[in-house]
């Protein structure tokens, strides 16, 4: 679904722009050193924008310092306080996230909109799905967000990003499918409070994949009870697996079975991905348990390795190039990957 597009800081959201990956800092914003380090580490892993929470004046003061030391857009989440949203924009935030339904002070909301227009900042209207009750919560939440979109549009504000987040997979899919039909503003998609490790990852991917495959979603957050770096990496891997993010390595590794005579397929696969990520080598590598099926199944990979009898077979595009001992397998594979990269 092609949405409107506009700039958030130095990035473009919506339209034909790539899906932006985002996360939220886990430190208090006034702890500038930690926040700056975290944002820069996340950027290296693939973050396109980062959000921070604004709880007091110290956090507002920190925005300027943070902005001077990062390269990606900074979004401020001011929760209930529209004054903080206004001040955040004046201090240099590229955008703010608010829930307009939380305010009765429409004059203040208008002041925020005017400030955002003046400073060319975006506003994410984030509706809290939990505040709706009854059977038709999805329709209610869509109606609510539509009401606010019209309110913003009536005040000539167009740099709007929309989100309605829930912890439920099916509800998330339903909400965003409907939202994408009634609105052409960029959508921030994600499952809120999805959990940790594989629980949160599976839940997020289950909800976001059908949406992303339909072209719904312009920025994503995988919300985990974990380090934001994990969120960024997971988002990148999800987009890559859906063919929506190219600059990332592909690992094909088999589950192994009775035909496999080597024991360290998982270790090799995991070390290889680590090596490719660290060296920014975005090729397809196949790590297979046996020669019988491994070479054939891995023939679409740029390079691969398949377990034999006490040795490994190395192959490129399905053609065997050498045999290596178990001990030398990883080092030899890495050397060949570097050679491959040099020949590019
Ligand atoms: Fe089994 Fe070989 Fe297939 Fe791996 S590649 S699952 S070891 S048959």
Q: pLDDT tens digits, residue range 290-314?
A: 998 888 887 889 999 999 888 999 9
Tokens of 215: 């072209």
pTM of the entire predicted model: 0.94
Strands 95-98, 74-77: pairing is: parallel
CA distances from 225 to 169, 199, 228 (A): 17, 10, 9
Contact between 123 and 152 (Cβ < 8 Å) = yes
**What's the pLDDT at 344?**
67
* 273 CA distance to ligand 1 middle (Å): 19
Average pLDDT by consecutive 10-residue portion of the chain (344 residues)?
94 98 98 98 97 97 98 93 96 96 92 98 93 88 96 97 96 97 97 91 97 98 95 97 96 93 91 95 95 84 91 90 92 93 72
Q: What are phi and psi of 308, to 5 degrees?
A: -115, -145
Residue whose C-alpha is closest to residue 121's, from 63, 46, 80: 63
Q: Is 254's C-beta closer than 6 angstroms to any atom of ligand 1?
A: yes
- How many other C-beta atoms are found inside a 10 Å radius of the C-beta of residue 257? 9
Q: Is 190's C-beta closer than 6 angstroms to any atom of ligand 1?
A: no
**What's the pLDDT at 282?**
95
Cα dihedral 225→227→228→230 (10° resolution):
-90
Q: Whose CA is nearest to atom 5 of ligand 1?
A: 294
**What's the pLDDT at 262?**
87
Q: Whose CA is nearest to atom 3 of ligand 1?
A: 293
Q: Whose CA is nearest to atom 6 of ligand 1?
A: 256
Q: Is 260's C-beta closer than 6 angstroms to any atom of ligand 1?
A: yes
């Amino acid at each position: 679904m092609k949405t409107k597009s506009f700039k958030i800081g130095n990035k473009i959201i919506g339209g034909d722009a790539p899906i932006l990956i985002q996360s939220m800092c886990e430190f208090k914003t006034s702890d500038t050193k930690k926040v700056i380090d975290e944002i820069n580490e996340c950027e290296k892993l693939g973050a396109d924008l980062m959000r921070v929470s604004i709880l007091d004046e110290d956090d507002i003061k920190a925005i300027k310092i943070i902005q001077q030391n990062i390269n990606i857009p900074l979004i401020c989440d001011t929760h209930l306080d529209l004054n903080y949203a206004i001040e955040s924009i004046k201090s240099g935030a590229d955008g703010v996230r608010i829930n307009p339904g939380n305010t009765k002070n429409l004059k203040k909301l208008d002041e925020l909109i005017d400030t955002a227009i003046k400073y060319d900042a975006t506003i994410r209207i984030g509706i809290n799905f939990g505040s709706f009750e009854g059977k038709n919560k999805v329709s209610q939440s869509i109606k609510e967000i539509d009401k606010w979109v019209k309110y913003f549009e009536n005040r000539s504000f167009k740099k709007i990003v929309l989100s309605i987040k829930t912890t439920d997979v099916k509800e998330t899919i339903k909400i965003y499918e409907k939202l994408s039909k009634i609105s052409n503003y960029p959508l921030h998609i994600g499952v809120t409070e999805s959990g940790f490790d594989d629980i949160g990852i599976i839940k997020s991917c289950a909800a976001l994949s059908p949406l992303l495959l339909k072209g719904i979603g312009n920025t994503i957050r995988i919300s985990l009870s974990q380090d934001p770096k994990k969120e960024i990496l997971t988002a990148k891997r999800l987009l890559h697996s859906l063919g929506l993010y190219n600059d990332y390595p592909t690992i094909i590794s088999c589950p192994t079975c009775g035909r496999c005579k080597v024991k360290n397929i998982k270790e090799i696969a995991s070390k290889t991905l680590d090596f490719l990520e660290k060296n920014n080598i975005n090729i397809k590598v196949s790590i297979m348990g046996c020669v019988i099926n491994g070479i054939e199944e891995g023939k679409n990979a740029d390079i691969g390795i398949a377990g034999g009898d006490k040795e490994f077979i190395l192959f490129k595009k399905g053609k065997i190039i050498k045999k290596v001992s178990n001990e030398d397998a990883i080092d030899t594979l890495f050397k060949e990957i570097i050679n491959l990269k040099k020949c590019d």
